[in-house]
Amino acid sequence: MVTTYSDVYELVLSLISSYKIDDIYVKDGEDGIETFFMPYLKMASGELENSAGIDISDRDDILRQFNGKLSDGRQLIIAKYIMIGYLSKETHDIMQMQLHLQDGDFKTYAEKNNLEGKLNALYLLKEEVGYDVKRSGYNGFMW
């Protein structure tokens, strides 16, 4: 028995709400979601390896599955690292975007609030996933 990438992506989708991701799912279905999240899975793999010494590189990217069964806790930690990658990109995109609003002051205010909200969510998520890794006893444990 193995854990598929879609098992982990379902957790991500249950934890995050995004019009962009919803549009991808409506347009391209599960295959589109798996393609969209693939770079974030690789980022999560690198983050886990660098920060916690956890190796999830034992996987088959063509079959889109891990070469083994991951516990629910491990799947959740991977899902949270995928979210960190996604929210980091969203935060960077917000810093680059130009809102198309008429009033300059309101535009600046909206951009600032949007960025602050995303940054706060990102910081909290990073703290939470770090706590999850330590609490679960996975720190330094090879999967």
Q: Is residue 143 part of a domain?
A: no
What is residue 33's predicted lDDT score, i.e. its pLDDT? 93
Q: Is residue 78 part of a domain?
A: yes
Q: At 139, which amino acid appears?
A: N
Q: Is residue 142 part of a domain?
A: no
pLDDT single digits (tens) 27-80? 999 999 999 999 999 988 887 776 666 677 888 999 999 988 988 988 998 999
Q: Is residue 60 part of a domain?
A: yes
Structure tokens at 38: 């693939």
Q: Is residue 94 part of a domain?
A: yes
Q: Which residue has the higher pLDDT, 33 or 125?
A: 33
Mark 61-85 as b/e (b = at least 16 C-beta within 10 Å): eeebebeeebeeebbbbbbbbbbbb
Q: Is residue 22 part of a domain?
A: yes
Q: Is residue 141 part of a domain?
A: no
What is residue 139's predicted lDDT score, i.e. its pLDDT? 52
* Number of domain units in the chain: 1
Most confident of 11-25, 38-52, 113-127: 11-25
For the chain, percent of residues with pLDDT exceeding 90: 29
pLDDT band at residue 7, thresholds of 50, 70 and 90? very high
pTM exceeds cut of 0.85: no
User: Could you write out the three-class secondary structure of the chain?
Assistant: CCCEHHHHHHHHHHHCCCHHHHHHHHHHHHHHHHHHHHHHHHHHHHHHHHHHCCCCCCEECCCCEECCCCCHHHHHHHHHHHHHHHHHHHHHHHHHCCCCCCCHHHHHHHHHHHHHHHHHHHHHHHHHHHHHHHHCCCCCCCC
Residue span of the structural domain in which 95 resides = 5-135
Q: Is the pLDDT of residue 142 over 60?
A: no
pLDDT band at residue 143, thresholds of 50, 70 and 90? very low
Q: Is residue 140 part of a domain?
A: no
